[in-house]
Amino acid sequence: MKALALLLTTSLLISHTPAQAQAETAKPADAAPAAPAKRGLLKYSPPKTAATGTRIDGDGASRGSGDKLPSLYVLAPNHTALTTREQPSLFWYQTGPAKTRFELTLTEPKNPKPLLKVGTDKSEQPGIHRISLAKQKITLKPGVSYKWTIAWVPDPANRSQDVIASGSIQRIEPDAKLTAALADAKGMDKVAAYAQGGIWYDALEALSNEIDAAPKDKDLRAQRAALLDQAGLKDAAAGERK
């Protein structure tokens, strides 16, 4: 009887082994992991009521000494672009290095004195730059359209020689739809929510923060190039793709 029991047990083990091997072969874990879905490029939806024609691009024509200065661009659309932040960041792009004085000014309507005026004697790094209004202790009021200007100043005694670029910014309170979209959003989902909601400055800042955290990520730079393209900022977009 013991011999018979042993024989039956052995038979069961042998008959089970091929089925078990077949089941293990079919396990999804053994298959190669699926590649993550590639995110589409950002889509910016401009606010329908925004005032248009508010941007000026600074062509770096020859000034004074005959040297051609780099072109300057405020990174904003050609309309009054929005932010939900009290103290957002402002971004600009320069096409090349310059040993000429650079100035940035922020003004509000009916106030002849600038809220902010900062400068540096030279700006030798081409590409995208930013200034944080929080670090400058500047707070924007809701509903006010502010103008900000950047300039090369080759001759402080003759400001007609300046190369000037400018744009506008207005702070708004987020609506219920945007608030819901941002509730659990992180990373690029947050950027997309701002872009689709027409909040240009917050979309650009959130995306730029992602790039600062991963500067070698080509996909992030492609997203910023796409965003800049939609604002008509072709030189800045091309710089992102180099």
pTM here is: 0.83
Cβ atoms within 10 Å of 108's Cβ, excluding its own: 14
Q: What is the mean pLDDT of residues 208-231?
A: 97
**SS3 (DSSP) at 230:** helix
Quote the pLDDT of residue 38. 64
State pLDDT tens for residues 157-215: 999 999 999 999 999 999 999 999 999 999 999 999 999 999 999 999 999 999 999 99
Which residues, listed in sequence order, are joined to residue 63 by a DSSP beta bridge? 67
d(CA 48, CA 51): 9
State pLDDT tens for residues 34-46: 544 567 999 999 9
Average pLDDT, the chain: 86
